[in-house]
Amino acid sequence: MSFPITLQVNASTVQRDMAPSRLLIDFLRDDLGLTGTHQGCDTSQCGACTVLVDGKAVKSCNVLVVQVNGSHIRTVEGLATSQALHPMQEAFGKHHGLQCGYCTPGMVMRALAMVNEDVPAEEGPVRHALGGNICRCTGYQGIVSAVCEGLQTLRANPSQSVPA
Ligand code: FES
Ligand code: FES
């Protein structure tokens, strides 16, 4: 059995017949080749698989494709242009908010959702908001500094925020 689904994935409209058991992470990585969305724990704990669904941070290992039918999915591949990285990505580079980089796409997508959640660009609230994202390299100080700067930049320049 399959169901027809239509999704906006980054700049593309995707239509497929979808098995009801297909996970969003598998669809993104295996069917669409968007391997920037990383698979870590597969049990909704690490956050490496975080994407935006209609502007909200969602762990894609824990969501079925049919559940997000009709939504706009934004992955890390949908952030940079051919000319420049997204400001949040720039902030991660500037503050050394990554070591091995495995958690980084999920951290960046989680950080972008904070713009819509009105998370203050301060260490305490940002650390709390990142509670569902694990960095096994433990580079949290750089990550938190990057997210704070990224939030400040995006709030000062709303046109650079990621549309839902
Ligand atoms: S792979 Fe989804 S939360 Fe870890
Ligand atoms: S930078 Fe290695 S897991 Fe976070």
Supply the mean pLDDT for the chain.
Answer: 96
Contact predicate 74/58, CB 8 Å: no
CA 137 to ligand 2: nearest atom: 2
Name the pTM for this structure.
0.96
Q: How far is the CA of 44 from the centre of ligand 1 (A)?
A: 4
In tens, the pLDDT along 5-28 reads 999 999 999 999 999 999 999 999
Q: So what's the pLDDT on residue 163?
A: 55
101 lines ligand 2 (CB under 6 A): yes
In tens, the pLDDT along 65-116 reads 999 999 999 999 999 999 999 999 999 999 999 999 999 999 999 999 999 9
* Domain 3-78 shares a fold with domain 87-160: no
Q: How far is the CA of 140 from the centre of ligand 2 (A)?
A: 9
Q: How far is the CA of 136 from the centre of ligand 2 (A)?
A: 5
Of 14, 16, 13, which is closest to residue 3 (Cα–Cα)? Answer: 16
Homologous superfamily (CATH) for 87-160: [2Fe-2S]-binding domain (1.10.150.120)
103 lines ligand 2 (CB under 6 A): yes
- Mean pLDDT along residues 141-153: 98
Q: How far is the CA of 156 from the centre of ligand 1 (A)?
A: 31
Kindly list the domain boundaries of the chain, sorted by start residue: 3-78, 87-160
Q: So what's the pLDDT on residue 164?
A: 53
* The CATH number of domain 3-78, selected from 3.90.1150.10, 3.30.70.660, 3.10.20.30, 3.40.50.970: 3.10.20.30
Could you tell me where the DSSP H helices lie in 15-103?
24-26, 87-94
